Structure 1
Amino acid sequence: MTSPTRIRAVRGDGVTELRMLLSHPMENGLRKDAEGNRVPAHFITEVSVRHNGKVVLAAAFGPSMSTNPYLAFSIAGGAAGDEIAVSWRDNLGEARSDAVRIA
């Protein structure tokens, strides 16, 4: 299992800034290890971000994303104590969900 997703949610002037770092190796299946063997593909395919249960971002990722993808975007509104939840699933069926409260 991977490390928790690092999520920062900060309110300001009618919007909430969201920043998140997803912990994942994001192997594209083309790289070779020291012995010359291909490292199997292992990458995030779906990402979902929810604000109090409502989807505010749904994305499809692929093998060309970098290791530990970083996302940053803003949403309208948001109040202290609201929940921001991030979920992802990868090509091997692994999944992770993490949440924070807006400060």
Structure 2
Amino acid sequence: MTAPIPRVMVPGSVARNEVFAVKAIIQHQMETGLRTDSSGVTIPRKIINRFVCRYGGIEVFRVDLHEAVSANPFFEFHLRATESARLEFIWEEDGGATYSLSHDMMVA
């Protein structure tokens, strides 16, 4: 099993009050907890169950996920550029593992 790989796409800089697109994906092998292995043992659920984006430390986007989510969940949303600040992206997995990236947004 490969380690999850998070990626984001955001502009390097934007004008003040400009609305910009944020795209985030994590390459993640999901398990619903509904399948069994060759021995008939249930494979434990292991999904990305939450994605959060913070802008300047303030939560601006959140998604709670459940069994029906696809592998490699992709999100696209829009934000308004209000100030130069850090964008933080956090993916949480069943079992407590977290994966994160950050990007410093420059607002002109």
TM category (shorter chain) comes to 0.7 to 0.9
Per-residue Cα deviation, 1:19-78 (whole angstroms, up to 9, x for no partner): 011122121012344x26443210122211011211111221111111110000101125
Alignment-derived partner of residue 25 in structure 1: 29
TM-score by length of 1: 0.79
Matches within 5 A, 1:1-103: 2-10=3-11, 11=14, 14-33=18-37, 35=38, 37=40, 38-78=42-82, 82-102=85-105
Q: Which runs of 5+ in 2 are unaligned?
A: none
TM-score by length of 2: 0.76
How far, CA to CA, are the matches of 1:83 and 1:2 in structure 2?
25
Bigger radius of gyration: 2
The answer (yes or no) to whether the contact 2:6–2:101 under 8 Å persists in 1 is yes
Corresponding pairs, count: 101
Q: Which runs of 5+ in 1 are unaligned?
A: none
Amino acid at match of 2:10: A
